[in-house]
A = this chain, B = another copy of it.
Amino acid sequence: MPEHAISPTREENYPEWFQQVIKAADLAEASPVRGCMVIKPWGYAIWENMQRILDRMFKETGHQNAYFPLFIPLSFLEKEAKHVEGFAKECAVVTHHRLELGPDGKLIPTGKLEEPLVVRPTSETIIGASYAKWIQSYRDLPVLINQWANVVRWEMRPRLFLRTTEFLWQEGHTAHATKEEAIEETLRMLNVYSTFAERDLAIPVVRGPKPACERFPGAEETYSIEAMMQDCKSLQAGTSHFLGQNFSRAQEIKFSNTDGNEEFCWTTSWGVSTRLIGAVIMTHSDDDGLVLPPRIAPMHVVVIPIHRSPEERDAVLAACQRVKTLVADLQFAGEPIRLRIDSRDMRGGDKVWQYIKQGVPIRLEIGPRDVAAGAVSVSRRDQPPRTKTSMPLEEFVLALPSVLEEIQQQLYDRALAFRDLHTQSFDSKEAVVAFFTPPDSGNRKSQEPMLHGGFARVHVADDPRVNEVFDPLKVTVRCIPMDGDDEPGFCIITGLATRRRSILAKSY
């Protein structure tokens, strides 16, 4: 047995470690269709848990779900100028609607479409066309709709969960009578995302507006939540856009106000995707594989019976069943506790390692000696793999909800400590450049997996000159954090006055 279940380790090769964690946990794999992925049951179950929690939060904030077409006529994309530039690039284009079987048994596309269709890269334009029809009066506002859907953005360098040609997401699209209300909605959903990330995914995030060059094409303001991964890069984990009247003007989304005058609506859009699974992997996992926050784990507890003889088997399985029965009445985070007894006919050690690699928060082993003592052997995924604690069966059951809560908190605390450790304030360009410049790679012997960079808190203006300076380092302004007090200063590049420090980082 090697020292760690995953090879290479984070330290040895972080991107390859990421791929190997996905493989070892059986989360997803590349498909025969370039850039697309197959989300396997364990990966999809994580997504289902994310969906269920988010969907509840969307409904609690007054949103309803609906479904709009997969295809967008080319002419729709042409309507909003910046949107065209931003999205009309790497798209899947449908040009034919029929196949005919050639004499050689090969299929030939026929039935050419008069107007090609684009497989939606995002749905502002197609949803806007509906809103223009639906909205007549201020009485029809606000429109608060969300859609769970697949979208396609052709990817030249795909990576599972992070950048795939097809991915699953939700996209909220709302229309309002006033600017203030639309901005309030934009921030409300940003907060839904940050609450979800921190409470449910145990991922600390920085919330804030992005610089102009990083905005959603066609937005007046884009807010994001940014999370630090274990390689110190930032991952944009969700975005909420204030679209102003840009799309409503382009698409004629108008309403008559209380005075009977026509106005353009103020719109927003916001989304998170299966990329969040990538964020969870890269925030919490270790060199033994996936580590899952209990709130989104498909299984909270796995019970592994250990036995040799048939008599042992019966007694052991009865004890396992007793745990299951007792746990059936318990809840964690408002949901039933998800427990499974794995009585497959294979070595207990192999099972244990499978569940370590799959990130199940709590493993329970029950053997004949445990049965005799009325005890169970408990292992926690947030502790080293060979750590086991024996405790009375009933005591384990009673403590279970609070132990799950403790693991959830522990993962958050660790991630926060990691982020704090790798966040620094800088007041000169040279210091920032030094922070982001890799050390001599021949010297990578440190125990700390991450060797350089992180979040640099810097005074920078929202100005192209700033981007030009940091571009060669692949460093960008991620966002201007909203939390905490103002701290006036001057841009280290342009000298312009700034109200707060921005976060600069390398990113996914």
Chain A interface (Cβ < 8 Å from any Cβ of B): 29, 31-33, 36-41, 43-45, 47-48, 64-74, 76-78, 84-85, 88-99, 101, 105-107, 109, 111, 116-119, 126, 129-130, 145, 149-150, 152, 154, 166, 168
Contact = CB atoms under 8 A, between A and B. Distances in A.
A430 to B, nearest CB: 41
B94 A94 contact: yes
A231 to B, nearest CB: 27
A71 B101 contact: no
Contacts of A117: 33, 92
Given A71-B33, A129-B32, A145-B41, A118 B99 contact: yes
A47 to B, nearest CB: 8
Nearest to A121: B99
Contacts of A70: 36, 119, 150, 152, 166
Copies of this chain, how many?
A: 2
A154 to B, nearest CB: 4
A37 B69 contact: yes
A473 to B, nearest CB: 29
Contacts of A150: 70, 149-150
Contact of A77 (B78, B95, B107): B107
Given A31-B130, A64-B45, A99-B118, A93 B109 contact: yes
A108 to B, nearest CB: 9
A341 to B, nearest CB: 15
Nearest to A127: B38
Contacts of A98: 89-91, 93, 154
A97 B91 contact: yes
B39 A66 contact: yes
A33 B94 contact: no
A166 B48 contact: no
Given A99-B118, A107-B77, A117-B33, A67 B93 contact: no
27 contacts: A31-B129, A32-B129, A33-B71, A36-B69, A37-B69, A38-B66, A38-B68, A38-B69, A38-B130, A44-B65, A44-B66, A45-B65, A70-B150, A71-B92, A74-B99, A85-B101, A88-B99, A88-B107, A89-B99, A90-B98, A92-B96, A93-B97, A94-B94, A96-B116, A97-B154, A109-B116, A150-B150
A44 B148 CA distance: 11
Contacts of A39: 66-67
Contacts of A154: 97-98, 111
A230 B304 CA distance: 54
Contact of A67 (B44, B94, B101, B111): B44
A311 to B, nearest CB: 26
B96 A93 contact: yes
What 5 A-B pairs come out closest when comparing CB atoms?
A36-B69, A41-B64, A39-B67, A93-B96, A93-B109
B99 A32 contact: no
Contacts of A76: 32
A148 to B, nearest CB: 9
Contacts of A38: 66-69, 130
A40 B43 CA distance: 29
A127 to B, nearest CB: 9
Contacts of A129: 31-32
Contacts of A130: 29, 31, 38
A29 B130 CA distance: 9
A64 B340 CA distance: 14
A78 B101 CA distance: 9
A280 B85 CA distance: 44
A65 B94 contact: no
Q: Which of A39, A69, A130 has the most chain B CB within a 10 Å cutoff? A: A69
Given A44-B64, A66-B38, A119 B94 contact: yes
Contacts of A105: 78
Given A98-B154, A118-B99, A65 B48 contact: yes
Q: Which of A32, A88, A116, A145 has the most chain B CB within a 10 Å cutoff? A: A32
Nearest to A26: B134
Q: Which of A40, A71, A119 has the most chain B CB within a 10 Å cutoff? A: A71
Contacts of A85: 101
B31 A68 contact: yes
Contacts of A84: 101, 107
Q: Which of A36, A89, A92, A166 has the most chain B CB within a 10 Å cutoff? A: A92
Contacts of A48: 65
A166 B69 contact: yes
A95 B109 contact: yes
Nearest to A84: B101
A95 B93 contact: yes
